[in-house]
Structure 1
């Protein structure tokens, strides 16, 4: 199970980044004799179903028909139908090969429920098989069920197969898993299978994750007592030493591990990491060159190595490493971002702006343009920042509204509100008169400036174009609740929005608040509680507390307030609520009101 790529200004913690990169090496099959960890990438359909042998014996007419339909569905690319067909016949004939074909087809269909059912059947019919357990572990981890995922991997480890427990626990810890519970699982497994050291090594890594380094040392000493020459022991020792800033010790452990397993690329990585920490970038570069020679086509490895260089302020080496990626006709967004960060650190502002401006459309697009504009503003080049965003709007019309919003924010931050309003008016009347996103943006700006009539004019136009726009209905209705006494009119809009999107937390909150404004406090608490269950944020919680208080349920209101005061920091909405209702503050046990219960 590989961690998704993370490219950040401040980088990852050294050990987290190391294990992310180690997972890249594992997935690429770069470790001699090791089975790679389960991958979250969807394999190509040309390979997957072809791997599973055809089932041609013991079939009656119904079974043969069902399998032919599944096979034809797979060939047409209807992998969901293929998976269902294979699964039904796998259950009927108790065939692990059919269950396997079902799992492979379900994976191609990206159908998690079908994949889970197929893998469970495959695992039951073929208890010794590792692949279905890997699939089940991958599925459990994807849904944050880390203990279930570990159970599957430990079953693989129990059969003397490599389960990549060390990589798994690092991913789980980074995702916020329950570390003590995972440690207990690993401890029990190690006691049951004393001949398998990887559970103890993984346990030590988790103990180090909680900074219980003494416990981690004791655990690794247990491993060393029987498995002193086990390479994973020395890899863990190296990384835990690095976490404790014992860089020389980390280097020596990595060097010893490399002598034990010269084909294990993770030790090259560990040695390079230690050299960087020791201020020896030239020595680190030699190790990185060896890695890149072994894996010349891995862009992901090159990006991760560059991130490691940046973490240790080796900008020149990072730039050299990124150069081949940046020079491509269609460079990866992550390469452009890292190269731009490198240029920023070198105070090469024009170079950084140019690189940020090349980031292609996608989830990094807007952030890169915002950073480029921000850099120009920071260097007193305000008009250049506006020009950059204006040109981006012309080049990427599909992102016009988002880029315009950045431009408006820039003008507002400089106090040029009238210029921002004129820019938006011009965009609506000339370049995009039918752009609902821009009209909605102007309505919101009008409200913020205190012009309710201008806001209503644009909202009315939007609803004339699309009477079933739930977002507009909710925003308009909620505004009427907050700025006018037209509560019944607001309620009708919000109820219409609710019919369109019955599970939308924002709409549920507005619906509850409408009933609150109409003094129907019991009804308000019903809808606000539903909104809170769907999205427990401070605004919804403050609404619910106020409704509970006025519905004469002080105990529930105070209990919820106490919990939210601990949960949110800062909590401006709760502070304002307490100013309006000082009695909400929980009374001391000695006061009579402390014993009062909800009616």
Structure 2
């Protein structure tokens, strides 16, 4: 919950930050980020100009459908407009109508319609870049990085600018398979030798994996034919920076700037190198050039502040953020960065002030948590409690979340009884609209080994809503872990599963219930589904044990190997390996190992 850690870890990774800023400078967002709202543009071409000839002209059905779509668009009913244009685009094989359907689907924010329309557009007009870019954005937003790459490579193959370099960094940051991307980029480079972007993107991925010599060799190959390509020198700069050859990174960026003096990316790359070399004044000059070009670009200021903080240049970060903080309603990211800057400079009260200004939304819980922990770190617990009490009154919709934070602070300070009294009082004050607080108390009772109190609150919650899948699952799983009432637990969990059949936590509970009942084959089935949906350590440990008890030893060992390779932290698996030593062995386990039950 420490906000400063989140900012450090998620917001200031050098590779990610550089290419995020490149996207800002080029006027586009990262593929996996928010898709900007489309700007309607005049439709200058007759929608039916490319339609096949119709012997008797436009029939009544086609005319009616197009008029209905056009009127729907004027009324703001973009979903109906998109459907109308799409149906007639399919009928008349008109790329112009498919294009209009795509625009309407964007305005309607209908992903399914957008995908269908863009697919039709790209099929009817293969050389058009925009529909493939949109399809790539949708695929990336859904985590389908390979499909996104397919669309971008199609753009590159036709000589378009697919921004492959920024894409592969974004995909790698999101956990895409780097080896698979490299294989496809290399094959594309062979099949399209006159397009250097795939090789340059591959070099960046090699550098990301620490294969710097391979990255340099790849870029040397590009330089033999495309030495005047600006993106080559941008990549050379970034590879040199990644291996901490900062002077080489600066020289490559300067060379690229000479080739393309109007390309702001090289101002950014030079500034990045100057900062790394400790030449902050020269870095500031480059940043000022960028800000002069884009004085009202808030995203650029935020990214520059992150880059300054990455290099511990707090004073410069403060200067860049100042105009954003003077706005009537500063954006949350500016407040968070200002708070982190104040923290770094030892200005605790100022940092707490900025954290407190973050409005309700995505960053609200983390900001309040960091403010409270910061006060506690300076032995100011009562001030933290008072701040959270005030926020609970000011933001009643955040009451449960803020109260949970307050209770955790008291628990960690050895004041659990006081925390219990505060929670009891809050529950009494908010009855009967206190479901979240009752659930919170039930979990606290469970942690205190008070099963009776936990059950009392859970039963109250189920009396109010017998179909609350989360409560049913939590109650059932608790019975599995702390009682022998396995059948009762199974009934609850099956009810939860009927309500939320795809919930990984419920699938895990269902598998674990069958495990407790000795039905290891059924347990393996449900735990496999849970693992496929959410491959975390706890689900994986349950699945391993079910496979092992079901005599599927090879599969269990294979899953153990996969978990050890994939997961950095796996205490549940570590405990399981202590109980079943044969899981790590290539020989068959002893009888005692196979019969060691978990319950």
Shift of 1:402: 0.2
Provide the rounded CA distance (Å) in 1 between the counterparts of 2:562 and 2:149: 32
Of 419-428 and 251-260, deviating more is 251-260
**Structure 2 counterpart of 1:22:** 22
- Aligned mates of 2:168, 2:242 — CA distance in 1: 16
- Per-residue CA deviations over 1:107-152 (Å, capped at 9, x if unaligned) read 2233333322222221121122221222222233333343433333
Distance 1:244 1:545, change over 3 A: closer
The whole-number CA distance in structure 2 between the counterparts of 1:575 and 1:181 is: 31
Q: Counterparts of 1:9 and 1:283 in 2: how far apart (Å)?
A: 24
Alignment of 1:351-430 (within 5 A): 351-430=350-429
Structure 1 pair 280–378 and aligned structure 2 pair: CA distance change class (3 A): same
Give 3-state SS (helix, strand or coil) of 1:384's partner.
helix
Measured in 1, the distance between the counterparts of 2:343 and 2:549 equals 55
Counterparts of 1:585 and 1:312, CA distance in 2: 44
Seen in structure 2, the aligned counterparts of structure 1 residues 535 and 38 have a Cα distance that, compared at 3 Å, is closer
Can you list the C-alpha shifts for 1:491-527, whole angstroms capped at 9, x where unaligned? 3322222222222222223233333333444443333
1:114 maps to 113
Return the offset for 1:341: 0.5
User: Aligned equivalents of 2:6 and 2:523: distance in 1?
Assistant: 44
CA separation in 1, counterparts of 2:279 and 2:376? Answer: 36
SS in 1 for 2:7: coil
Equivalents in 2 of 1:527, 1:591: separation in Å? 27
- Separation of aligned partners in 2, 1:503 and 1:39: 24
Aligned length: 582
SS in 2 for 1:8: helix
Aligned partners of 1:593, 1:452: CA distance in 2, in Å? 32
Offset of 1:552 from its aligned partner?
Answer: 4.8
RMSD: 2.9
Superposed, 1:577-588 pairs within 5 Å as 577-578=576-577, 580=579, 586=585, 588=587
**For the Cα contact (< 8 Å) 1:207–1:213, is it kept in 2?**
yes
Deviation at 1:175, TM superposition (A): 2.6
TM-score, normalization: structure 2?
0.89
Q: Give the Cα–Cα distance (whole angstroms) in 1 for the partners of residues 535 and 23 of structure 2.
A: 35
- Identify if the C-alpha distance between structure 1 residues 56 and 518 changes in structure 2 by more than 3 Å, giving closer, same or farther: closer
Match of 2:361, SS?
A: coil
Q: Deviation of residue 42 (structure 1)?
A: 4.3
Structure 2 Cα separation of the partners of residues 520 and 159 of structure 1: 57
Secondary structure of 1:485's aligned partner: coil
Q: Which segments of 5 or more consecutive residues in structure 2 lack a partner in the other structure?
A: 50-56, 594-599
Distance 1:132 1:426, change over 3 A: same
Inter-partner Cα distance in structure 1 for 2:531 and 2:483:
25
**In 2, are the aligned partners of 1:90 and 1:99 still within 8 Å (CA)?**
yes
CA-to-aligned-CA distance 1:411-445 (integer Å, 9 cap, x gap): 00111110000010111112455210001111111
Structure 1 counterpart of 2:102: 103
> Which of residues 18, 25, 47 is equivalent to 1:55?
47
Residue 337 of structure 1: CA displacement?
0.5
Q: 1:263 to 1:412 in 2, by over 3 A?
A: same
Q: Which aligned pairs between 1:431-580 and structure 2 lie closer than 5 A?
A: 431=430, 433-561=432-560, 563-578=562-577, 580=579
| Distance of aligned partners of 1:271 and 1:464 in 2 relative to their CA distance in 1, 3 Å threshold | same
Task: Please give the alpha-carbon distance, in whole angstroms, between the structure 2 residues aligned to 1:545 and 1:251.
Answer: 51
CA distance in structure 2 between the partners assigned to 1:7 and 1:528 by the alignment = 32
Task: Indicate the residue corresponding to 2:165 in structure 1.
Answer: 166
**Gap regions ≥5 residues in structure 1:** 1-5, 29-35, 595-599
2:200 touches 2:235 (CA, 8 Å); kept in 1? yes
Is the contact made by 1:15 and 1:242 (CA closer than 8 Å) also made in structure 2? no
Distance 1:295 1:7, change over 3 A: farther
* Change in 2 beyond 3 A, CA 1:7/1:283: farther
Counterpart-to-counterpart distance in 1, 2:495 and 2:248: 66
Aligned to 2:12: 12
Given the superposition, is the C-alpha separation of residues 432 and 266 from structure 1 closer, same or farther in structure 2, using an over 3 Å criterion?
farther
2:356–2:367 Cα contact (<8 Å) kept = yes
For 1:169 and 1:544, locate their aligned partners in 2 and report how far apart those are by CA, in whole Å: 33
Distance 1:195 1:111, change over 3 A: same
Distance 1:222 1:574 in 2: 46
Is structure 2 residue 313 aligned with structure 1 residue 295? no
Superposition map of 1:83-162 within 5 A: 83-162=82-161
Cα distance in 2 for residues equivalent to 1:328 and 1:574: 50
The aligned residue for residue 223 of structure 1 is 222
Moved more, 169-178 or 333-342: 169-178
On the 8 A contact 2:164/2:201 being kept in 1, the answer is yes
Deviation of 1:392 after TM superposition, in Å, equals 1.2
| Superposed counterparts of 1:270-349, under 5 Å | 270-349=269-348
Matches within 5 A, 1:44-83: 44=37, 47-48=39-40, 50-51=42-43, 53=45, 55=47, 58-83=57-82
Whole-angstrom CA distance in 2 between matches of 1:551 and 1:260: 66
* Deviation at residue 88 of structure 1 after TM alignment: 1.6
Q: Secondary structure at the match of 1:392?
A: helix
Once the two structures are TM-superposed, the CA of residue 39 in structure 1 deviates from its matched residue by 9.0
Q: What is the deviation of 1:205?
A: 2.2
Deviates more, 1:251-260 or 1:270-279: 251-260
1:581 Cα offset (Å) = 5.2
Q: State the shift of 1:549 in Å.
A: 4.2
Deviation at 1:302, TM superposition (A): 0.4
**Distance change >3 Å, CA 470–CA 37, structure 1 → 2:** closer
TM-score (norm 1): 0.89
Distance 1:426-1:557 versus aligned 2 partners, 3 A rule: same
The whole-number CA distance in structure 1 between the counterparts of 2:493 and 2:548 is: 24
